[in-house]
């Protein structure tokens, strides 16, 4: 029961985590029980990402979205090279946010034609690398125009560019706003005509800038389909207006993403159906108004988040003034967002379970799982109903495939780095 009625006074619960099956009380990942997988990995803590769930998510999107909508993977959500390699063969493109990510994307064989590069602080060296690689750069400042033009001229190749627009509206109910109002991302919509004029001055399909389109990204972690629908419509209308000033036909129209996944009690999975319907309308309109444009969605979290688990082992079990603490070998230093210290205002629990006691015959007990760090911020699960856990048991944190290992301060307190496996 997740949507409480007005008479229901029970606290909201987590949306059920049904993506991983269980076998004899134990979670199963990639066809292997958790205990066996832990033995295979050789140590805890670790992250495990399930290939079949990555594939299922792509299939689910393909089924819900109109044909012809291109999917890009924003690899900052999970830059593990094996994951990027897996995704690169299943979606149409990879979005990178640094030269380091670009290297991984190219190393794993992503097609440079389908790589795009966004980020508010691209160095001259990174821009030059991007031009040499033949990937597309999302221009986010007037400075980048001149740097890209110089690199294209020097290298004798075109610099493929699109313009990242900071829209004049926000993505409503977004976990993290990345557009609207003053922002470090992109160029304000009202300045874009001037930027396009600057691009036109240095355009040259052989050794200058080659304009390809627009990139509009308004926010992240949104669970409200109607907010995403509204933002995509507004982004499209804005792109139509800006296209009047473009030095070349729009070939690439990135309407962002922002698709969220349910993390906290009371949150419901995103309904893709209205988003698919809206995109079909937009696509039909684009066919006449921007006939060369292909529509791209760039998704990070939504593609990989639900396919991943963080797994740590219980080192100690103790009771402090009546409250049970399960002390684990992993925590904040590997999984900052689960600890509540990556953008949350009020800490809430991710879905957490004792992975080898999924249906405990003795029922559940309220307990807190904490990590080994010497700080009260190191919380894995705060006062949650969990199977009666013993030392050696395995704690799993669901919804951990995105913004996990690479988004955590692994050096803090000098514990070993986390292992990552794709199974
Ligand atoms: C971070 C980022 C994404 C991915 O966001 P998710 O919420 O993980 O889907 C997409 N595009 C850009 C430009 C980003 O910076």
CA nearest neighbour of 12 among 224, 266, 220, 366: 266
CATH number for the domain formed by residue range(s) 111-299: 3.20.20.10
- Residue 262 Cα to chain centre, angstroms: 13
Mean of the pLDDT values across residues 133-139?
98
pLDDT one-digit tens code per residue, 107-125 = 999 999 999 999 999 999 9
pLDDT of residue 173: 65
Q: Going by C-beta distance under 8 Å and a sequence separation of 6 or more, which residues neighbour residue 253?
A: 213, 214, 236, 239, 286, 290, 293, 294, 295, 296
pLDDT of residue 176: 63
pLDDT of residue 6: 59
Instruction: Return the SS3 of 246.
Output: coil
Among the atoms of ligand 1, which is closest to the Cα of residue 176? 7
Model confidence at 218: pLDDT above 90:
no
Better-scored residue on pLDDT, 27 or 171: 27
Mean of the pLDDT values across residues 411-415?
95
Q: How many CB atoms lie within 10 A of CB 419?
A: 16
Model confidence at 265: pLDDT above 70:
yes
pLDDT one-digit tens code per residue, 360-410 = 888 899 999 999 999 999 999 999 999 999 999 999 999 999 999 999 999
Q: What is the CA(153)–ligand 1 centre distance, in A?
A: 31
Kindly report which listed range (50-54, 80-84, 181-185, 325-329) carries the lowest average pLDDT score.
Answer: 181-185
Residue with tokens 């699960």: 381
Q: Which residues line ligand 1 (CB under 6 A)?
A: 74, 76-77, 95, 97, 118, 217, 220-221, 257-258, 298-302, 402
At 47, the pLDDT band (50, 70, 90 cuts) reads very high
Q: Whose CA is nearest to atom 5 of ligand 1?
A: 300
pLDDT one-digit tens code per residue, 337-356 = 999 998 888 999 999 999 99
CATH number for the domain formed by residue range(s) 22-48+306-422: 2.40.37.10
pLDDT of residue 217: 79
- Length in residues, the chain: 423
Q: What is the CA(184)–ligand 1 centre distance, in A?
A: 14
Q: Are 219 and 175 in contact (CB under 8 A)?
A: yes
Q: Ligand 1: which of 257, 263, 272, 301 to mutate, judged by most atoms within 8 Å of the beta carbon?
A: 257
Crossing angle of the two packed helices 272-289 and 51-64, in degrees rounded to 10: 60
pLDDT of residue 361: 82
Q: Are 387 and 353 in contact (CB under 8 A)?
A: yes
Instruction: Return the SS3 of 274.
Output: helix
Q: Are 121 and 333 in contact (CB under 8 A)?
A: no
pLDDT one-digit tens code per residue, 219-239 = 889 999 999 999 999 999 999
What ranges do the domains of the chain cover?
22-48+306-422, 111-299
Q: Are 334 and 44 in contact (CB under 8 A)?
A: no
Residue with tokens 């949350």: 344
pLDDT one-digit tens code per residue, 55-68 = 999 999 999 999 99
Model confidence at 133: pLDDT above 80:
yes
pLDDT of residue 358: 95
Kindly report which listed range (58-72, 92-106, 214-228, 318-332) carries the lowest average pLDDT score.
Answer: 214-228
At 256, the pLDDT band (50, 70, 90 cuts) reads confident
pLDDT of residue 174: 64
Q: Are 338 and 329 in contact (CB under 8 A)?
A: no
pLDDT of residue 295: 97
Q: What is the CA(384)–ligand 1 centre distance, in A?
A: 30
pLDDT one-digit tens code per residue, 312-323 = 999 999 999 999
Q: Whose CA is nearest to atom 6 of ligand 1?
A: 300
Residue 228, CA distances (Å) to 68, 259, 267, 269, 276 in order:
19, 8, 16, 14, 11
Model confidence at 194: pLDDT above 60:
yes
pLDDT of residue 1: 43
CA nearest neighbour of 261 among 218, 298, 307: 307
Model confidence at 273: pLDDT above 80:
yes
pLDDT one-digit tens code per residue, 278-298 = 999 999 999 999 999 999 999
pLDDT of residue 179: 64
Mean of the pLDDT values across residues 317-341?
97
pLDDT one-digit tens code per residue, 165-193 = 999 887 666 666 666 688 899 999 999 99
């Amino acid at each position: 029961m997740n949507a409480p009625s007005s008479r229901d006074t029970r606290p909201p619960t987590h949306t059920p985590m049904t993506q991983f099956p269980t076998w004899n009380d134990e979670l199963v990942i990639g066809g292997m029980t958790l205990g066996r997988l832990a033995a295979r990995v050789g140590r805890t803590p670790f992250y495990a990402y399930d290939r079949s769930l990555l594939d299922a998510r792509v299939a689910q999107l393909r089924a819900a979205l109109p044909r012809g909508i291109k999917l890009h993977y924003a690899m900052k959500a999970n830059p593990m090279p094996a994951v990027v390699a897996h995704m690169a063969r299943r979606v149409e493109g990879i979005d990178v946010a640094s030269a380091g990510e670009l290297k991984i994307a190219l190393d794993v064989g992503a097609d440079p034609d389908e790589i795009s590069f966004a980020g508010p602080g691209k160095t001259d060296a990174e821009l030059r690398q991007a031009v040499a690689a033949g990937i597309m750069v999302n221009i986010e400042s007037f400075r980048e125009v001149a740097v890209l033009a110089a690199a294209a001229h020097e290298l004798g190749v075109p610099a493929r560019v699109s313009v990242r627009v900071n829209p004049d509206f926000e993505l409503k109910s977004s976990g993290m706003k990345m557009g609207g109002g003053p922002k470090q991302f992109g160029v304000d919509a009202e300045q874009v005509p001037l930027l396009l004029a600057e691009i036109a001055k240095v355009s040259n399909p052989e050794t200058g800038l080659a304009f390809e389109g627009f990139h509009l990204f308004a926010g992240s972690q949104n669970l409200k389909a109607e907010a995403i629908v509204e933002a995509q419509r507004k982004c499209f209308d804005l792109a139509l207006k800006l296209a009047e000033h473009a030095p070349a036909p729009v070939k690439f129209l990135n309407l962002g993403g922002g698709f969220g996944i349910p993390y906290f009690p009371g949150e419901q999975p995103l309904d893709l159906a209205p988003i698919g319907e809206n995109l079909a309308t937009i696509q039909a309109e684009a066919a006449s108004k921007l006939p060369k444009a292909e529509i791209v969605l760039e998704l990070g979290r939504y593609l990989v988040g639900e396919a991943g688990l963080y797994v740590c082992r219980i080192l100690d079990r103790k009771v402090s003034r009546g409250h049970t603490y399960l002390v684990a070998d992993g925590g904040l230093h590997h999984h900052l967002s689960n600890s509540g210290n990556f953008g949350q205002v009020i800490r809430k629990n991710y879905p957490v379970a004792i992975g080898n006691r999924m249906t405990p015959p003795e029922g559940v007990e309220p307990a807190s799982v904490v990590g080994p760090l010497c700080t009260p911020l190191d919380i894995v699960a705060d006062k949650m109903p969990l199977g009666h856990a013993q030392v050696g048991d395995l704690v799993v944190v669901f919804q951990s495939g995105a913004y996990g290992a690479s988004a955590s301060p692994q050096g803090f307190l000098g514990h070993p780095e986390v292992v990552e496996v794709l199974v």
